[in-house]
Amino acid sequence: MPVREVLFKMERNGVMIDSAMLAAQSRELGEKMLAIEAQAHESAGQPFNLNSPKQIQEILFDKLQLPVKKKTPSGTPSTDEEVLQELALDYPLPKILLEYRGMAKLKSTYTDKLPLSVNRTTGRVHTSYSQAVAVTGRLASNDPNLQNIPIRTAEGRRIREAFIAPPGSRIVSADYSQIELRIMAHLSGDAGLLRAFANNEDIHRATAAEVFGAELAAVSNEQRRYAKVINFGLIYGMSAFGLASQLNIERSAAQQYIDLYFARYPGVKNYMDNTRLQAKAHGYVETVFGRRLWLPEINGANGMRRQGAERAAINAPMQGTAADLIKLAMIKVQHWLETEKLHSRLIMQVHDELVLEVPQAELHLVREMLPKLMCGVAELKVPLLVELGEGKNWDEAH
């Protein structure tokens, strides 16, 4: 079965949402935003549109003379979250703006809009999956986008509570654990990484132990946090400069961590170098399954674009292989559901996660089989691990 067929079926299945719950959240957010807006006007000494970056610039940097921390690509002073966080240490207004931004995002993008996407006939939300827009091979979800529903903050997670199963069914979520780092271990063949995954270690803790020369049990929370940033940075081709700004440390210190990492995981260092060489020599990189990303600017004269292509070259094999794997899993799962004539349905895909709507009677079977199907799509040099959750809504299923 082609993956396109699974996408059609998933789009047709759709997901049930509790519009009344979202409406209540919208009202709550709206009231809080009004109060915050008044505070902001008070603090600024004049009314202004809190949604307007231009007006915020005028107030913060012209009127109040706060220091400019960063500029946007067009040269105007940036008012993004990072800048406001920094200014908030010394001034009251940036903190207020941040609170407003957080709520405005949730209300305008999610709680107000999702109920408008409910199909009149089915009573469900039906996204569209684009199979051929993301260069790495990932899917994209649009109209509405169900791949960027909030989860990282407590307030945001309330929106997930509105993604529900009908009476008699449950929401089941199954996601690949640390999939891109596992793929990095496979592609690089690095002995240390392979061993850590073979032993099913906490990978960030294991990295911290190596980089900081500590016993696994002796790794501090901060050391683990550093290692996590380093691990993600590797996947994205981050530089010492980027790592330094992420960790708020000196660039030289960041460089030391990177050197230390590559000394402990020489296979990864070797893989990164070879990937850049491959990209420059052939003009493309590819995933484990042979999906190619062409990089026309990898040898270009524009330094900035060339470096961008190098980072894309590093990232694409990992992100792309993960995309290949979950597509294989979707085909396997859909095929299984059909041949077994089950009533469980695939309803969403979020890059490394599959979401199903499962009748109570099939819950036991799906809990047993879904991870097996997902883990069995390929034999890599490391085991694939799937974490499964279940509940009456999408939030509980995590």
Binding to DNA (CB under 7 A): which residues in 154-173?
156
Q: Give min distance, CB of 127 to DNA, in A.
A: 8
CA separation, residue 95 to residues 61, 84, 87, 127 (Å) = 15, 7, 8, 35
**One-letter amino acid for residue 296 of the chain:** P
**Which of 46, 72, 119, 302: binder of DNA (CB under 7 A)?**
72
User: Can residue 302 be called a binding residue for DNA (CB under 7 A)?
Assistant: no
Whether a cis peptide bond, with omega within 30° of 0, leads into 77 is no
User: Can residue 133 be called a binding residue for DNA (CB under 7 A)?
Assistant: yes
Q: Give min distance, CB of 218 to DNA, in A.
A: 26
Sequence-distant (6+) residues with CB within 8 A of 336 are 342, 369, 373
User: Can residue 304 be called a binding residue for DNA (CB under 7 A)?
Assistant: yes
Instruction: Return the residues of window 327-386 that contact DNA according to CB under 7 A.
Output: 350-353
Which contiguous run of DSSP H or E holds residue 203?
A: helix 203-212
Tokens 């603090």 sit on residue: 43
CA separation, residue 260 to residues 269, 270, 278 (Å) = 11, 14, 25
Decide whether 216 or 288 has the Cβ nearer to DNA: 288
348 has which bridge partners? 355
**Which of 80, 250, 259, 338: binder of DNA (CB under 7 A)?**
80
Piece of the chain touching DNA by CB under 7 A; list 7-15, 274-282, 304-312, 388-396: 304-312
User: Can residue 279 be called a binding residue for DNA (CB under 7 A)?
Assistant: no
- Interface map 85-124 toward DNA (x if CB under 7 A): -------------x--xx--xx-xx--xx-----------
Which contiguous run of DSSP H or E holds residue 391?
A: strand 386-391
Among the residues of 14-112, which ranges form H helices?
19-44, 53-57, 81-88, 92-105
User: Can residue 308 be called a binding residue for DNA (CB under 7 A)?
Assistant: yes
User: Can residue 252 be called a binding residue for DNA (CB under 7 A)?
Assistant: no
User: Can residue 227 be called a binding residue for DNA (CB under 7 A)?
Assistant: no
**Which of 26, 111, 141, 223: binder of DNA (CB under 7 A)?**
141
